[in-house]
Amino acid sequence: MTTLHDPGARDFASDNYAGVHPEVLDAIAAANGGHQVSYGEDAYTARLQEVTVRHFGEGASAWPVFNGTGANVVALTSMLPRWGAVICARTAHIHADEGGAPEKVAGIKLWAVPTPDGKLTPELIDTEAWGWGDEHRAQPKVVYLTQSSELGTVYTPDEVRAITDHAHAAGMSVYMDGARLSNAAASLELPLRAFTTDVGVDVVSFGGTKNGALAAEMVVPLSPQAAEGLIYLRKHQMQLASKMRFVSAQLIALLDGDLHLRNARQANTMAQLLRRGVEDGLADGTIAGISFTQPTQANAVFAAVPPDTAARLRERFHFYDWDAAVGEVRWVCSFDTTSADVEAFLAAVRGE
């Protein structure tokens, strides 16, 4: 087939814009050929179980799915009774960016809490964690965290532990949406289990798509009890891959060595480089009018940008408005973003 795009093009809108890492493509090719049993009864999905246990602990298991929304819906459905509700940040992906899938597909009530930085705290959780036994109120049963958050911020292990202890004491479970879990691990310089299993998270998702994979995510219950029902719910929610070996092979490629961290470190480092470039420009007067709205802790930079600057940038690059009312935008770096890409973007910011 003829290539229909410019393979050298780079944008800063989303890490979903990036292609598939060559090592992941190699893994798909290596899994091809011959026949393997379908629906997860294959050698690659079996190997993924071993890799997952190594990263998350003996009680963990891997349930590959196609995409992040599917992972969230499958995981949350498995954790909730029909009358249960989820407490999340107002910026949470399940609330703001999934087209109502948790509500419409799974029938889940979301109690959304305003947060200054995309992160929940025990105190913020308590604004919606009430009404138990009240038949008129959907019962809070799960706390939903995103790591790293939709605003590019990262929970420390101590922050997660404070939330899990608080939630468990109130009879709630904790789910961590890990669409960018590797970016958090790279930022914290910690193994995955240090801010999931070891601090009391009940179920986590691991995101591959934003980190160099192709339609490859997984739900990871961190105990056998948390896995109950997933064998049925994954099919029920249309997330059971028939040729699962190709999904599992990608996740193995990311997790069996250090590829997931290498990719995440590159994306995080380029985000820091972008931020420093803007800061330097503000200091020397080559850039004006831009202010940062969030700390840059993973691979996203959030900034308030004057309309004329944003319009000029959009002539050369894609990126998303986050809060158009105040001119806030999001710039995201990917595993394949280079320093030359960042410099080209900064030159456009400077009007060169």
224 and 317 in a common domain: no
Q: Is residue 295 part of a domain?
A: yes
Determine the pLDDT at residue 22: 98
pLDDT at residue 83 is higher than 90:
yes
Q: Residue 233 and residue 106: Cα distance in Å, rounded? A: 10
pLDDT at residue 15 is higher than 90:
yes
- The closest of 279, 258, 272, 273 to 212, measured between CA atoms, is 258
Determine the pLDDT at residue 352: 87
Q: Is residue 14 part of a domain?
A: no
Backbone Cα Rg of the chain: 21
Q: What is the pLDDT of residues 266-310, one digit of tens each?
A: 999 999 999 999 999 999 999 999 999 999 999 999 999 999 999
Q: How confident is the model at residue 345 (pLDDT cuts 50, 70, 90)?
A: very high
Tokens representing 113 are: 């809490």
Average pLDDT on 143-148 reads 98
- The closest of 198, 260, 249 to 59, measured between CA atoms, is 198
Q: Residue 269 and residue 290: Cα distance in Å, rounded? A: 21
144 and 284 in a common domain: no
Determine the pLDDT at residue 349: 96
Average pLDDT on 31-60 reads 98
User: Please, where are the H alpha helices in the chain?
Assistant: 22-30, 43-56, 68-79, 93-96, 101-104, 122-125, 157-169, 181-188, 230-236, 244-255, 259-284, 307-313, 339-349
Q: Is residue 3 part of a domain?
A: no
pLDDT at residue 207 is higher than 90:
yes
User: Strand 173-177 relative to strand 139-146: parallel, antiparallel, unpaired?
Assistant: parallel
Q: Is residue 246 part of a domain?
A: yes
How many domains is the chain partitioned into structurally? 2
DSSP assignment letter at 210:
G
Q: Kindly report the average pLDDT of the chain as a whole number.
A: 97
Q: What is the pLDDT of residues 301-317, one digit of tens each?
A: 999 999 999 999 999 99
191 and 48 in a common domain: yes
304 and 175 in a common domain: no
171 and 61 in a common domain: yes
Q: Which residues, including other chains, have CB under 8 Å from residue 277's CB and lie 6 or more apart? A: 342, 343, 346, 349
47 and 166 in a common domain: yes
Residue range(s) defining the domain that contains residue 186: 21-257
100 and 247 in a common domain: yes
236 and 293 in a common domain: no
Determine the pLDDT at residue 286: 96
235 and 316 in a common domain: no
Handedness of CA 197, 199, 204, 205 (dihedral sign): negative
211-248 residues labelled b (16+ CB within 10 A) or e (exposed): bbbebbbbbbbbeeebbeebeebbeebebbbeebbbbb
pLDDT at residue 166 is higher than 90:
yes
At 98, which amino acid appears? E
At 307, which amino acid appears? P
Average pLDDT on 75-97 reads 97
Determine the pLDDT at residue 237: 95
301 and 239 in a common domain: no
Determine the pLDDT at residue 139: 98
pLDDT at residue 350 is higher than 90:
yes
Q: What is the CATH number of the domain that holds 242?
A: 3.40.640.10
Q: How confident is the model at residue 202 (pLDDT cuts 50, 70, 90)?
A: very high
Q: Is residue 13 part of a domain?
A: no
Note whether 268 and 299 are within 8 A (CB). Answer: yes
319 and 230 in a common domain: no
